[in-house]
A and B are shown apart, each in its own frame.
Chain A
Amino acid sequence: MKSAVAISHELDNAAEAARQLADSVLEKIELKKHSVGILLCDADTDGAAVTGELKKRLGIDVAGMTTLATMDADGRHEAAAVLTVLTADDCVFSAAASASLSASGYEQKITEAYAATVPADAAAYGAKPAVVFAFCPYGLPFSGDKYPETLSKAAQDAPVMGGVASDDYDYERARVFLSGHDYSDALVVVSVWGEAKPVFAIRHVTSRFAERIRRVVRAEGNVVHDVGGETFVQYLEGFGLKTDVEDPLLAFTSYPMMLTQEGQDETPLMRHIFSLNAETGSGSFLGDVPTGALANICLVNKDDVKAACRESMKALLETAAAQPGYEYSAVFCISCCGRAMILGAEADAEGRILSEMLPENLSLTGAYCLGEICPALYTGEKASNRFHNCSITFCML
């Protein structure tokens, strides 16, 4: 598999942006038998128009989503569109969008979207895909966990990589798109079949905690009612945090909750607070919160974010080096919007670090999302796909 990455800062003229991206890609690689494009771009981009134009120019499906900021080998970019094209003779790529998702029936629609990406001659490429990319809409009335859960089931525990579309914290312009269409309430799935050996890495920040560990007594999906005998709002106020805020997702972005479940060996769950209910005292999160888990508030700062970025990239490169005989080409990075906000004046810190650490033979595409999907564990056969927050995740193909 080969890859090429192109960037355009042209956000107001979709056709021009598409032209710049397509020309840049074609300068770098020759398209092989099968190809797919992944577009990560600023929320002001007309994703539908750009991906439609790219499909015309390159003759390939282009899927993607809006993000807070993007990354490539040169670092972080605000107000840009970054296109990665994957091309191979021994892999097939397939993309599809789900029907509109709502509170009910979403599992079936997600499954159908995945099923639509299964090639007719899938058997020739293995029992299941090498990796599934998921570009998820923001703000739907169900937990982000449902995406990896449903896709895992449909794809027989194949690894799932992706994120939740974001914008500039206005929550109105986040979109996902596929080849000329954009969606605020649909999932776009790209599955990769054939000779690909993806490797993954994930890190979140765990160095400092507020040391007020309590057990989640009652939670329903992503809504927490009772923590250690208090309502969730009381639990937060116990730290001295202000709960009467307009934008809880932004206000608590530096204070994600870490959840550990006794007996579990996998990476602990990180969860960002999404909203607070002053009446009931409950709190909603971007992902599920398991009842009985031990909860603690993390205190995240820039150094933690940078350290996790470095560790994660290092782990990724080491894992890839342990796969002899396979030539990697592209690195995808999905990082959390919260991490971007925590970096503050050092907003480009992660981009810089990745740029420094990226080997020359690899391309890099990254995005800041409101939720990351990545396997917590992947044995090569089976992936434990999870929905994460406040984490930096990688997939190398």
Chain B
Amino acid sequence: MEKEYPQLMRQYKKLERDYRALSIMHEQTERLRNSNEAAKELSNFYNQLLLKNTPGITFMLDLDMNFVLGSEKTVSLLGYGEMREMVGFPFPELFANAFPDGWIADTNARCLAVTRNGRPLSYEEKVTLKDGAGIIFQVTVTPAEEKGGICRGVVVVMNDVSELARAKEDAERASISKGAFLANMSHEMRTPLNAVIGMTAIGKASPDAEKKNYCLNKIDDASTHLLSVINDVLDMSKIEANKLELSPAAYHFEKMLQKVVSVNNFRVEEKQQEFSLHVDKDIPRILIGDDARLAQVITNLLSNAVKFTPLHGHISLKALLLQEKDGLCSIQIEVSDTGIGISEEQQSRLFSSFEQADSSTSRKFGGTGLGLAISKRIVEMMGGKIWINSEISKGSTFAFTIQTERAQEETADEAPGPDSAPADCFAGRRVILAEDVELNREVVLALLEPTELAIDCAENGLEAVRLFSGAPDRYDMIFMDVQMPDMDGYSATRHIRALDIPKAKQIPIIAMTANVFPEDIEMCLASGMDGHVGKPLDLEAVLGKLREHLPKNEN
């Protein structure tokens, strides 16, 4: 017993050791098991949530192509209430509710192939469901592999990309149109440019003054046409960027119409067409609106009418007051012709940008194809709409309405027209012209030479500041280009305004620049300039600024 006692104690301790170890391990194992089960439940919950909220058609099939699980969208598309109604059923049977037999057979075959070769598939296809809906699906079939690479089935994801496909088609179509448009624009710009270059060469080479005059007239026509093409393209860009703005002011309605008619007159005479104008007496004399844009629309319509009406045809322009209430006028303007007419199918595309009635039109009749799109936008901005009535070989009537206001005081725009205005004379006046491009300086000097205005030139802003600060009382006005080397027009203006000379604050500074967007004009004014004339220069606009800012009794 003496010998056995220690051995028994030893065994007892070892049993106690084992018991202690097993107790602790058992407790930890239970906790881990509970934790695992809780984690599994949570995981199941999230899995269900995922299936419920998966937007596309997503489902899993086992190796025998039986349904295992799928998204709620899949379940409802196939006409079932709950996923468990579908579990274990063959894919062809379940999908027969909604999908055509051919598609089911193909997809079944594809899924089987994926389970065999282990390679995922991705493809796009159009499917017409049994309810008639045509959907383009982006389909991916992926082998459902567990650890060790054993395939248990397939996961199929089908995303509806119909809208995307439509958008892609639209974009491709627009791109093609734009490509065609750009090609056409290139042609439209190169044609008058070619005339300018060609006529210049001919004129230079010819000693005959009459010939030279002829060439200069052609250059004049071509450059005017080129400017209108560029303006059209710029207008279209503004429209597409949502930056086209109206500049409403009071104007004489009938005079505006007369001006438009006179611009088109020579073309009418050329084609020996008859032209008639009818203006409703009830239309107020003075209206508030953007007369330049309105004239642009009418000019466009008249220009088209003349273009598409043969020799000896008839064109009419009518303006009617539809109604007036509380000073708000609704006016309808119609341009009718006895021209070639436009088919109904072509009419639907007329007002879209980059499209003409017929792609051959530009080749036959010229034009950018932008005029009607721009006109439509302008009309809509004026609160109106534009439409067409036409019949092939019988002619067309383009009509549009605008909403406009009767001016409160009928004093606007009473300034005399170009024919009655006295000739400008600015003898004794001196201005600074800040312009870095020599040719542009020559143009200004030549245009203003008849006015006897003295002009000192500066090649950049720095020089302009130096000229003015050197003799501030010598100058009455500054024409300031904006983009110049060394110092631009904005900086030069700010420097001049900051000079400690009384004249520096007062001298009128007018921007003379090709930057003509509203924000550009705002920048000019913000820098301290008093006004803006756009390039290419309009002489009348330049003279207008001179008249405005130089003392009147000196004119």
Which A positions have Cβ atoms within 8 angstroms of B? 11-12, 42, 44, 78-79, 168-170, 210, 239-242, 245, 247, 250-255, 299, 341-342, 344, 347
Known pairs A12-B3, A79-B14, A241-B28; A253 contacts B34 (CB<8 A): no
Report the stretch among B16-24, B91-99, B312-320, B375-383 that lies at the interface: B16-24
Tell which of B11, B28, B35 touches A255, judged by Cβ atoms closer than 8 Å.
Answer: B28
Complex: chain A residue closest to B7, CB-CB: A79
Known pairs A242-B31, A255-B28; A12 contacts B21 (CB<8 A): no
- Docked complex Cα distance between A86 and B332 (Å): 120
Tell which of B17, B18, B24, B36 touches A251, judged by Cβ atoms closer than 8 Å.
Answer: B24
Q: Smallest Cβ distance from B15 to chain A, in angstroms?
A: 10
* Residues in B whose Cβ lies below 8 Å from that of A245: 24
* Chain B interface, >50% SS class: helix
Tell which of A12, A44, A79, A253 touches B25, judged by Cβ atoms closer than 8 Å.
Answer: A253
Among A78, A210, A240, A342, max chain B CB count under 10 A is at A240
Q: Is the CB–CB distance between A78 and B24 below 8 Å? A: no
The total of interchain contacts (Cβ-Cβ below 8 angstroms) comes to: 65
* Residues in A whose Cβ lies below 8 Å from that of B6: 11-12, 44
Q: Is the CB–CB distance between B11 and A79 below 8 Å? A: yes
Q: Is the CB–CB distance between A254 and B28 below 8 Å? A: yes
Beta-carbon contacts under 8 Å, B3-57 to A: 3, 6-7, 10-11, 13-14, 17-18, 20-22, 24-25, 27-29, 31-32, 34-36, 38
- Docked complex Cα distance between A252 and B27 (Å): 11
Q: Is the CB–CB distance between A253 and B21 below 8 Å? A: yes
- Docked complex Cα distance between A254 and B228 (Å): 88
- Docked complex Cα distance between A215 and B439 (Å): 72
Complex: chain B residue closest to A247, CB-CB: B24
- Docked complex Cα distance between A168 and B10 (Å): 10
Complex: chain B residue closest to A342, CB-CB: B25
Q: Is the CB–CB distance between B17 and A254 below 8 Å? A: no
- Docked complex Cα distance between A60 and B542 (Å): 121
Which B positions have Cβ atoms within 8 angstroms of A? 3, 6-7, 10-11, 13-14, 17-18, 20-22, 24-25, 27-29, 31-32, 34-36, 38
Q: List 27 A-B contacts (CB under 8 A).
A: A11-B10, A12-B6, A12-B7, A44-B6, A44-B10, A78-B11, A79-B10, A79-B11, A168-B13, A169-B20, A210-B32, A239-B35, A240-B31, A240-B36, A241-B35, A242-B28, A242-B31, A247-B20, A247-B24, A251-B24, A252-B28, A254-B25, A254-B29, A255-B28, A255-B32, A342-B25, A344-B25
Complex: chain B residue closest to A68, CB-CB: B17
* Residues in A whose Cβ lies below 8 Å from that of B28: 241-242, 251-252, 254-255
Tell which of B13, B21, B29, B36 touches A250, judged by Cβ atoms closer than 8 Å.
Answer: B21
Known pairs A239-B32, A240-B35, A241-B32; A250 contacts B14 (CB<8 A): no
- Docked complex Cα distance between A256 and B236 (Å): 73
Q: Is the CB–CB distance between A250 and B32 below 8 Å? A: no
Q: Is the CB–CB distance between B34 and A240 below 8 Å? A: yes
Q: Smallest Cβ distance from A68 to chain B, in angstroms?
A: 8
* Residues in B whose Cβ lies below 8 Å from that of A240: 31-32, 34-36, 38
* Residues in A whose Cβ lies below 8 Å from that of B10: 11, 42, 44, 79
* Chain A interface, >50% SS class: loop
Q: Smallest Cβ distance from B22 to chain A, in angstroms?
A: 6
In addition to A11-B6, A79-B7, 16 A-B residue pairs with Cβ atoms within 8 Å of each other are A11-B7, A12-B3, A12-B7, A169-B21, A241-B28, A241-B32, A242-B28, A242-B31, A245-B24, A247-B24, A250-B21, A254-B28, A255-B32, A341-B18, A341-B21, A344-B22
Complex: chain B residue closest to A252, CB-CB: B28
Q: Smallest Cβ distance from A217 to chain B, in angstroms?
A: 23
Among B13, B18, B28, max chain A CB count under 10 A is at B28
* Residues in A whose Cβ lies below 8 Å from that of B13: 168
* Residues in A whose Cβ lies below 8 Å from that of B18: 341, 344, 347
Nearest first, the 7 closest Cβ-Cβ pairs linking A and B are A240-B35, A341-B21, A168-B17, A251-B24, A240-B31, A254-B25, A12-B6
* Residues in B whose Cβ lies below 8 Å from that of A241: 28, 31-32, 35
Q: Smallest Cβ distance from A167 to chain B, in angstroms?
A: 9
Q: Is the CB–CB distance between A250 and B34 below 8 Å? A: no
Q: Is the CB–CB distance between B24 and A299 below 8 Å? A: no
- Docked complex Cα distance between A44 and B6 (Å): 10
Among B11, B14, B21, B32, max chain A CB count under 10 A is at B21
Q: Is the CB–CB distance between B17 and A242 below 8 Å? A: no
* Residues in A whose Cβ lies below 8 Å from that of B20: 169, 247, 250
- Docked complex Cα distance between A240 and B29 (Å): 9
- Docked complex Cα distance between A347 and B19 (Å): 13
- Docked complex Cα distance between A341 and B21 (Å): 7
Q: Smallest Cβ distance from A242 to chain B, in angstroms?
A: 6
* Residues in B whose Cβ lies below 8 Å from that of A347: 18
Q: Smallest Cβ distance from A9 to chain B, in angstroms?
A: 8
* Residues in A whose Cβ lies below 8 Å from that of B3: 12
Q: Is the CB–CB distance between B31 and A169 below 8 Å? A: no
* Residues in A whose Cβ lies below 8 Å from that of B17: 168-170
- Docked complex Cα distance between A44 and B31 (Å): 35
Q: Smallest Cβ distance from A299 to chain B, in angstroms?
A: 7
* Residues in B whose Cβ lies below 8 Å from that of A341: 18, 21-22, 25
Complex: chain A residue closest to B3, CB-CB: A12
Q: Smallest Cβ distance from A323 to chain B, in angstroms?
A: 34
Q: Smallest Cβ distance from B315 to chain A, in angstroms?
A: 81
* Residues in A whose Cβ lies below 8 Å from that of B27: 242
* Residues in B whose Cβ lies below 8 Å from that of A252: 28
